[in-house]
Amino acid sequence: MIGHCSCYLLPKAHRGCGFTLVELLVALVLMSFITVLMASGLRATGQGWEKITDRQNENEHRFQVDQFLRRHINSARFPRIRDEEGVGMVGFFGTASSLHFLAPMPVYENNGVLYWWNLKIITDDKTREQVLELQYLPYRDGEPVRYDQVAGLSMEGVSLRQIEVARQVRISSIRYYGATGRGGGGESWLTEWPAGSDLAPRVIRLQIEELNRQGEYEAWQEIAVAPRFRDQEIGGGHGD
């Protein structure tokens, strides 16, 4: 057996050919702790990236909705129209929570044809979520339009069509700057723009709030629009 190492032939002080059971157990415990720490760190990192990604997606969605609404409201036209009683007025009106105006289709479908638009919040019957919706009707030059502050615009024999803009949001306020032109005095900020006005507002300010994960409404950046066609089409079309 000469030439073969045997730990048992050496004094105890020189035995080093292996580990004792206790040492192995300690090593296994240490490796377990290290594995747990690494897994926790990786999980925390993954959750952090997930939150960052979710936040980026939310901000991108808000930006897209913001830009869509800015462009669409900014494209509003203001021909003079007549109501069912034959009274001439500008084709724009709104409340503190809804807008009603004339504009072409959004850019991706714009062929220059005008439509009546309702921008308002509706409740989804299935999910009970609040939905920001654009409803539209064809605009027919010279045809009277019906308007109700609750229902919005309507036309006999024509069904409203819808474009869903965003979910789990609400319109907290809409404000209008200008003078209505019918004994309303000078220009000022108003909480509604009444049907029958002779003029369109100079500036429209729209505030949207979104329901966050904590169940609270969080305000978006305010949308302020000065319609670029306001001064071009006032007084055109069908007057008194």
Report pLDDT for 126. 93
Q: Decide: residue 157, CB within 10 A, 0-12 exposed, 13-18 middle, 19+ buried.
A: exposed
Looking at the DSSP bridge assignments, the partners of residue 146 are 154
SS3 content of the chain, % helix, strand, coil (to 5): 30, 35, 40
Domain contains 141: yes
Pure H helices in 75-181 = none
DSSP assignment string, 8-35: GGS-GGG--SS--HHHHHHHHHHHHHHH
Per the structure, the count of domains in the chain is 1
CA atoms in the 13 A half-sphere facing the CB of 189? 8
Alpha carbon distance 207, 173 (integer Å)? 5
Report pLDDT for 30. 85
Q: Where in the chain does DSSP place strands (E)?
A: 80-82, 88-90, 92-94, 99-104, 114-123, 130-138, 146-148, 152-154, 161-167, 169-178, 188-190, 203-211, 217-219, 223-225
Residue entry with tokens 């308007």: 147
Domain contains 3: no
Q: How confident is the model at residue 206 (pLDDT cuts 50, 70, 90)?
A: very high
Q: Report whether pLDDT(133) > 90.
A: yes
Domain contains 41: no
* 3-class DSSP assignment, residue 135: strand
| The two structure tokens encoding residue 145 | 């339009």
CA atoms in the 13 A half-sphere facing the CB of 6? 6
Q: How confident is the model at residue 208 (pLDDT cuts 50, 70, 90)?
A: very high
Domain contains 79: yes
Q: Compare 77 and 88 and report the one with higher pLDDT.
A: 77
Structure letter (DSSP) for residue 102: E
Report pLDDT for 81. 81
Report pLDDT for 202. 94
Alpha carbon distance 24, 161 (integer Å)? 73
Domain contains 44: no
Q: Which of 143, 127, 9 lies closest to 79 in space, CA to CA?
A: 143
Entry pTM = 0.73
The residue range of the domain holding 131 is 56-233
Domain contains 184: yes
Domain contains 31: no
Domain contains 159: yes
Q: How confident is the model at residue 235 (pLDDT cuts 50, 70, 90)?
A: very low
| Of the candidate ranges 30-44, 91-105, 110-124, the one whose mean pLDDT is the lowest | 30-44
